[in-house]
Structure formats: C-alpha cells, structure tokens
Amino acid sequence: MPAPSRAAIFGGSFDPVHRGHLAMAAAAREAADLDLVLFVPAAVSPFKSGTVASGGQRREMLDIALAESGWDWAGVSDFELERPAPSYSWETARHFAEAFPGTEWHWMLGTDQWEQIDRWAEPEILREALSFLVFTRSGQTVRERPGWRYRAVPFEHPASSTAIRADFAAHRDWLTPGVAAYCEGEGIYGG
C-alpha cells in the first residue's frame, strides 16, 4: 500500500465493532483530512481483563464491517494481535511511524483516555510521534496539554460494545448486518 500522508490509528478491543466505531472513523477522516484510518484491535489492553471474542473473531468482524462500508480509506492491522500481550500504545505508534516515516500519524481516543494519557506507558514517545484526535461528548472540553498536538472532535453516538455484550438482541441494530450475522454464526455475545 502506498504511504498515506495523513493517517490515524484507531486502537481498541472492538469486542464487537459497531456502528459507533464506524461513525468515529468517518468523523476522524473528515476532521483531520485523513487518507487512512487504521483499526488496530488490541490483543489485551493493559487496562482491561480480556475480551469475549478471540483476536481472530474481532479481526474478522472488523474486516466484515469495513467491507460492508465500502471504504477504500480504512483498513485493519494485526500488529497488536500478533505481539505478546499486553498491547502498549507507544509500541504501536513507534511501529507505524517507522514503517511509514513520511506519514503524519494521529491517534484517536476519548476524553476519558486523554485525561489519563500521562499515565500511559512512555507518554513522551506518544507526544513526539503523534497528533491526537480527542472525541468529546455533549460539550465536554479537552484539557490543555502543553507540548501535545491535538484536536477536539465533537461526537455523539449511542452504540456501546458493553451494552451489545450484555444484551445482543436489544442492540443488534448497532451492528452492521454482516457483523450481526457473524456473531450469530459464531455464537458470541449470545447472538
């Protein structure tokens, strides 16, 4: 693939990927004029105990959701799935910065993560390597962080992976049709 000039890393468990994740990717692309949004499913986040779906299942759901979207500007990377857990953001950032040295890399995250970013492993590597797209809800403000490059991206969407895992049938419409069918076929989330 040719090196993008402006790209974003969208990390997460994606357990499962839902329409809110897709809407975030579209909002990021528009806000930062991105050539590429790269979904990077985590093996196991250092802040979470584990996932319901396997790494392979989460990758497959992302592939299905992106194929259904028809986007040529979004992709999926197995970088974190193929590494020993836990997944550290600085390692991912460094990997893509080195793989595509001419690319301006962004990292997508919510205000809750932005508030804690100084507690992440190696925050100075993140600060130097990345610009941040900080997704805000209902008028939240983004904390100033001197020396960090960031842009607030207002965003609202009701979908929640936690709610889908808790009650698949009630929230099936938050999934693309192919992802919902895949969950049912695999028997995950009670689908």
Question: What's the predicted TM-score (pTM) here?
Answer: 0.94
- The predicted pLDDT at position 135 comes to 97
Residues 6+ apart with CB under 8 A from 178: 64, 65, 67, 68
Domain residue limits, the chain: 6-186
* Rounded average pLDDT per 10-residue block, the chain, 191 residues: 89 96 98 98 71 94 98 96 88 95 96 95 96 94 95 96 96 98 95 69
- The predicted pLDDT at position 3 comes to 84
Which class does domain 6-186 fall in? alpha beta
